[in-house]
Amino acid sequence: MKGVKRKRRWWAALVAVALAVLVAGCGATGTVPGAPGPAPGGGDALGAQTQTIRFSEVIRSIFYAPHYVALAKGFFQQQGLKVDMVTSQGSDKGAAALLAGTADISLIGPETSVYIYNQHGEKSIKAFYQLTGVDGSFLVGRPTSKPFRWQDLNGKTIISWRPGSSPQMVLNHVLAEQGVHGAKVITNIAPQAMVGAFRSGQGDYIQVYEPLASMLEQQGVGKVVASLGEAGGSYPETAYEATDAYVHAHPDVIQKWCTAVHQATRWIESHSPAEVADVIAPYFEGTPKDLIAQSVQRYEQQHTWPDNPVLTEAQFGILQNVLVEAGTIKADQKVSYNAVVETRFAQKAAGGQ
């Protein structure tokens, strides 16, 4: 019963956010000061017919490096796409923007597709390209020379993400697997306030993405003790999504989007972390390039960006099992793979077509 109530609260909050986003309209802009333009000589595939795509990213993180490479190297523009980017600060808000019609494409957790589909509303959203294949968060503790053991978390507090979000559910899944049952997980701090709370002394540990994990470590505020991606294993944390209606109406846009992102992923594979840092640095203003490069290397080491961007049925099964374990859906509320996943565009992009 708790899981159902939590899901209803999540949906009520999502509807409220959707209304707020609808009222706000497209006033926000994702322009990054000093961000590089397209690669020299790249040009637009459609010239004067360049199409503007309203895009919402869940958070700003090096976890999504291929996206920033695609922007900076002009891969989107070569496909005739201009990306108007905003940061939503949460998959619920990114999904709400899709439902409200203020975003065409969002980078969010695929769990939102399941939640929305189970409401049997007029709209559904589909994951069409898996950008990351593992969780991208790291557990950061207070500086110490003592070797980390998962059992150290018993009796400690961990600043985590909102209930029902991918990082929060992955953390709880890993804690259960490691036999940690005495940790207090704090889930009521807004994403943009989490690091400040940790810096001020709240929490014994914090779950953050790069570059924040490396930044806390470099500043002597914390120490990275574990990768949730390595501990949790294969997990479809984030995917590009759009409403079913948008995918049906704009298959050309979806295909060009997938092609640009896959091109960027291949570019990262053939370049050093330092070279990647040079390219995406404008999207992380104030973050030293050596720290960005360190973050890229960490993500590469845990095989964050899959060669195959298709969200497979097996991975979707892992996701739904975690949702049931977290109590956000019941076992009989699992949805069919084809209802919320579209594979043909990622398949074509990965095949070089």
- Mean of the per-residue pLDDT values of the chain: 88
Domain 137-232: homologous superfamily in CATH: Periplasmic binding protein-like II (3.40.190.10)
Domain definitions of the chain by residue range:
51-134+235-350, 137-232
Q: Which two tokens stand for residue 9?
A: 């609260």
With 50 as the cut, is the pLDDT of residue 288 above it? yes
pLDDT above 70 coverage of the chain, percent: 86
CATH topology of domain 51-134+235-350: D-Maltodextrin-Binding Protein; domain 2 (3.40.190)
Domains 51-134+235-350 and 137-232 share a fold: yes
The full length of the chain comes to: 353
Residues 141, 226: Cα–Cα separation, whole Å: 9
pLDDT of residue 72: 98
User: For 59-67, what is the mean pLDDT?
Assistant: 96
* 146-161 per-position pLDDT tens digit: 999 999 999 999 999 9
pLDDT of residue 87: 95
How many CB atoms sit inside 10 A of residue 257's CB? 27
pTM comes to 0.84
Q: Where are the beta strands (DSSP E) in 152-255?
A: 157-159, 184-186, 205-209, 223-227, 238-243
User: Higher model confidence: residue 108 or residue 47?
Assistant: 108
With 50 as the cut, is the pLDDT of residue 24 above it? no
pLDDT of residue 36: 45
- Torsion-angle region of 201 (φ positive above 0: left; ψ -120 to 50: alpha; else: beta): left
CB 126 within 8 A of CB 246: no
Q: Which two tokens stand for residue 2?
A: 């708790």
